[in-house]
Structure 1
Amino acid sequence: EAPEKPQIDDITANSMVVTWEAPKDNGNPILGYWVERREINSSHWARVNRNIVPDTELKVEGLLEGLTYIFRVAAENQAGPGKFSPPSEPKTAQAPIMPPGPPIARVVVTTDHSIEVEWDPPADNGGGEILGYHVDKAMAGT
């Protein structure tokens, strides 16, 4: 039998980890797996591993940042390789987005009842676009 659709995790700018569940072996022990990848705008599947993979996980390296990939997996036993799994969900090779650093705020106008602040964007955007800001207030000394 073919493995179920593989899952993709730990995505970076040039690698992804492909995991899958072992299929039923139907009486013949599974020797390992073959993994193929396809760039989403291509019709060509390329084998990822040169040697059979004994585990149900493979870190795929050498991906190109910004390209979107899908993966599929086939099990092999003594009779040879089986059918490929359905393809994974498409995933784009990109650095993970982290929370941004703090913006640099300053007070520009104060009155008895209000304060006006402005800020510069953070030096570190965390690898993603800044979508907005949250402004909180607190009484001094609290």
Structure 2
Amino acid sequence: MPCVHYKFFSLLHYDTVTFSGLHISLGDLKRQIMSRQKLKVTNCELQISNAQTGEEYTDDNSLIPKNSSVIVRRVPVRGVKTTSKTRFITRTEPVSGTPKAIEDSSAPTPLAQLIKGWLCEETLGSTSTILYLLSLRKTRPL
């Protein structure tokens, strides 16, 4: 039975897709790979290139001969922006008690006060944020 051997760029071993005929279209190969790997069309596209020559197949109607080896890469769907992993941390003061005067935002806040206020909240920040605050200790007075 004719087959095409495929391997994801980051993996070491090849898997096999079997089909009937002398060749398989790129679109059919992509569909079979996505169904075998349980990938969703809405999440990513597959970029397929010949393992020996490095030639990238771009047309879904192009034919890939039997017993070929291809390299597969997952790429984001075109036209969709990826979400940023940046988190913004905001600190809010409790609303109980007497109203307080608004402090001048241009005055630097001591590091100890920042950490104390931050740790008083029920959520802790990421390790990198804590390390950043501790690195400020060298430049700001406690």
TM over 0.5: no
The alignment's TM-score, normalised by the length of structure 2, stands at 0.28
**Greater Rg over alpha carbons, structure:** 2
> Greater relative contact order: 1 or 2 (C-alpha under 8 angstroms, separation 6 or more)?
1
Q: Whose helix fraction is larger, Structure 1's or Structure 2's?
A: 2
The alignment's TM-score, normalised by the length of structure 1, stands at 0.28
